[in-house]
Amino acid sequence: MFHKIKTRIIVLMLIIAFLPLAVIGIVSCRTMILMKQSINEVSEQMGITAANSTGNAIRTKIRSHSLSIAKLTADLVDERLALSGNDVTALSDLIGDSVEENAKTFLLDKDGNLIYDVTGAYVDGQVNYNEGGPGERYIARSMAIGNAGTEIITYHEELTYFAYAPCIGSEFSVGVLISAETAEHEVAVLSDSVLVLNNAIGAEVTRNLTLGLTITIITVSVAAVAVLIMAVRFSRNITKPIEKLTKKVSTIGNDYSDESPILIRTGDELEELADSFNLMTERLRSYMAELEKQAAEKERVRAELLVVKDIRDTAFPHIAPDYLDRPEIDIYGTTKDNDGSNNAFYNYFPISSDTIVIVEAEVSGSGIAAAVMMLIAKTLMEQGARNGKSLEEIFYTVNQILYEKRKTEHSISAFMGYINLKEGELNYITAGLHSPFIKSFGKPWESAPFISGIPLALKKDVHYTSDTRKLDWHDRIFIYTNSLITASSESGETYSKERLCETLNLHKDKDIQEICDNIYSDLQSFIGDKPRADITMLISEYIGKR
């Protein structure tokens, strides 16, 4: 194409050298129009190639990412069902909370019954996708096969990325829906950039048209030979840079790693066009590199959260021990797992026929290092209790080890107590946690006058002092992590011990599990959303001998 343009320019300029100036103007305009069309073809090819290749890359990454989410969630569903004895209601936090903000997960059984919807609500098969619209029926058929896959479908009149994966250990399948709006938005932005570049090319071609007409008029006045020389030079300056642009455009869609720029030194608008193209390709490379970096970072964060969750789950009692069948005491503990930005644990276990240990602790910080520190503290406390050590000895030893071994600025706030079921006596130590609440039978909840020591791992050679409290019939103790009363609303107001005390007394006569659930519901209402940190609570009621 460019060879023909070069020949046409030379022949036409030789002919018009001997024609009247009027004919020269008409033929010159026609020649420049053809040149403009050629350049427009190049810019159009450049825009289509860049937009299509980048758009396809974005769509491919989103499809791969959505399939990874579906498979990961399916594995977590199998693990949770195995731990909970196939209790489907224990999956709410897995289905409702997705690692990816724009991803919506749901759970179907093999017959197309919807178990959890995309909001995380447990609907228990009240909706059957086989009886829904075209989008629901297509989803039900795809997920019933039992394979994993990803597709682009029209769901509720919207283009959507649909990924699905079977749960190997159950009859369920996990589905993931991601709106295609994000990818198409990036493609639209790229298309707009190409449009701006096309407008710049049109302006540059118009300026070249005026320049070409001026040069033509001057050369005809001199001689045909001079016209030939100038025509050859002019055609070379126009066509060779365009050839370079075309070759570069043909490779950009397939290889973003080529960082070599287009070198055009014509000293005119074509040189500016080449510089604009070089800038555009550099931005495309940066954009693709940033996409890959973000994908890698999301994968790292997701993997770290899973490790923290696995470590933290080992800190909680999953199987009710034998002493819960005894009538002397009732204990309930819970952790409301939000985004994994905190590391806290509770535990309760017998160390003799008449003594029960209760423990609650919270690490200042998050991540794998904090989770490991939490697990070390839990193990040392339980080991010390089972070896018959006093609370003073246990806290001194744990503080010494954590202080010497810690690699970060994390510390641990903790409460630990021995409850003697025969004598009704509580021997306890607190380190950094706020005072628990105590409720005697027939009286309201009130903050206990407990003296708290400094958090563990902050200072070496700290000697902690325990205290003892006599427990009467139906005395209750409520222990909580600091993250409960320090949770803040959008206005910056904290939940506070005062509001916690009001909520406790509002539900003082209810079952101990209901009390914890009502406190968490009130906290969510106060904040307006889920708390950023995990909330851990432990409540016990001493019933005594009858």
Q: Could you state, in order of their start, the residue ranges of all structural domains in the chain?
A: 2-56+184-290, 63-180, 317-542
Q: How far is it, in rounded angstroms, from Cα 33 to Cα 187?
A: 31
pLDDT confidence of residue 324: 57
pLDDT above 70: residue 255: no
Task: Give the pLDDT band (50/70/90) at residue 5.
Answer: low
pLDDT above 50: residue 425: yes
pLDDT confidence of residue 321: 45
Q: pLDDT tens for residues 234-251?
A: 666 666 666 666 666 566
Of the two residues 501 and 89, the one the predictor is more confident about is 501
Q: How far is it, in rounded angstroms, from Cα 143 to Cα 121?
A: 20
pLDDT confidence of residue 393: 96
The four Cα atoms 138, 141, 146, 148 give a dihedral, to 10 degrees, of -10
pLDDT confidence of residue 114: 92
Sign of CA dihedral 515, 518, 524, 530: positive
pLDDT confidence of residue 322: 43
Q: How far is it, in rounded angstroms, from Cα 230 to Cα 216?
A: 9
CATH number belonging to domain 317-542 = 3.60.40.10
pLDDT above 80: residue 309: no
Is residue 74 within 8 Å of residue 173, measured between CB atoms? yes
pLDDT above 70: residue 27: no
Sign of CA dihedral 128, 131, 132, 133: positive
pLDDT confidence of residue 250: 60
Q: Which pair of structure tokens corresponds to residue 101?
A: 């903000």
Sign of CA dihedral 255, 258, 259, 263: negative
The DSSP symbol for 432 reads: B
SS3 (DSSP) at 339: coil
Of the two residues 54 and 358, the one the predictor is more confident about is 358
Q: pLDDT tens for residues 334-380?
A: 987 665 555 788 999 999 988 999 999 999 877 777 888 888 889 99
pLDDT above 90: residue 392: yes
Give the CA angle between residues 520, 429, 386 to the nearest 5°.
100
pTM: 0.47
63-180 under CATH 1.25.40.340, yes or no: no
pLDDT above 70: residue 310: no
| Segment holding 101, helix H or strand E | none
Task: Give the pLDDT band (50/70/90) at residue 391.
Answer: very high
